[in-house]
Amino acid sequence: MAAFVVAHGAWSAGFVWKRMHPLMRAAGHDLFTPTLTGLGERWHLAHAQIDLEHHIEDICAVLFHEDLRDVILVGHSYGGFVATGVADRMPERLSHVVYLDAFAPKAGDTMLALATPEWRERWVEGARTQGDGWRVPPNPLPPDTSAADLEWIMPRRHPQPLRTMTQRLALTRAETALPRSFIYCTRIGPGDMFGPFARSANADARWRYFEMDASHNPHITAPDALADILCAIAAGRA
């Protein structure tokens, strides 16, 4: 049995992983999907000073207070920044880091800098014109998201604090020694933001590499296939 902890993506929350819980439980694994500060059901805590470090501390606090060890940490999308920070802060509690269609940043990187120019401009302009200078309006969900899922999720997607995108990732070591996997969702969206990280991982023998015929949120649109890959990673993590 493995313990999985998810660092979810921007504008998202733990609740969107609900389809994964019974699948991972049936496979004998524990799945923790905490919501980052200022998002989801924690939207009432949102303020302009929330930054990447707050979200890294959110996940570190889960590892400590749940007393989790030998954890497989999954960073989805923006959550790749969070997962990288957690792996730097608490490597002794982790066994593997999974980047699920995610940024795989290095020290000093920001989400805004790694984004495509089109998305970068959209986020900054959205915060300026619609978010009092700090709230970035939610991105649309992929086009293959069902109407029922759009109705379920979109009212519960909240603006992302801009400082989570602009704060530089601070690391104490150049690169983690932990085993890493990358899962690339091949139904790519505009700009293919995660393709460069996927190709880099696929070319590096230190990484395990997987592809999914899915759009950016497989925990919503392809949970069974995602569960199969996560279980395969758990089986081979040693």
Active site residues: 77
Q: Are strands 135-136 and 160-161 parallel, antiparallel or unpaired?
A: antiparallel
Q: By the 8 A CB rule, do 215 and 221 touch?
A: yes
Q: How far apart are CA 84 and CA 56, in angstroms?
A: 9
Across the chain, the runs of DSSP E, i.e. the strands, are 3-7, 30-32, 71-76, 94-100, 135-136, 160-161, 180-185, 207-212
Q: How far apart are CA 176 and CA 74, in angstroms?
A: 15
Of the candidates 42, 86, 31, 82, the residue with the CA atom closest to the CA atom of residue 64: 86
Of the candidates 74, 112, 111, the residue with the CA atom closest to the CA atom of residue 210: 74
Q: Are strands 160-161 and 180-185 parallel, antiparallel or unpaired?
A: unpaired
Any idea how long the chain is?
Answer: 238
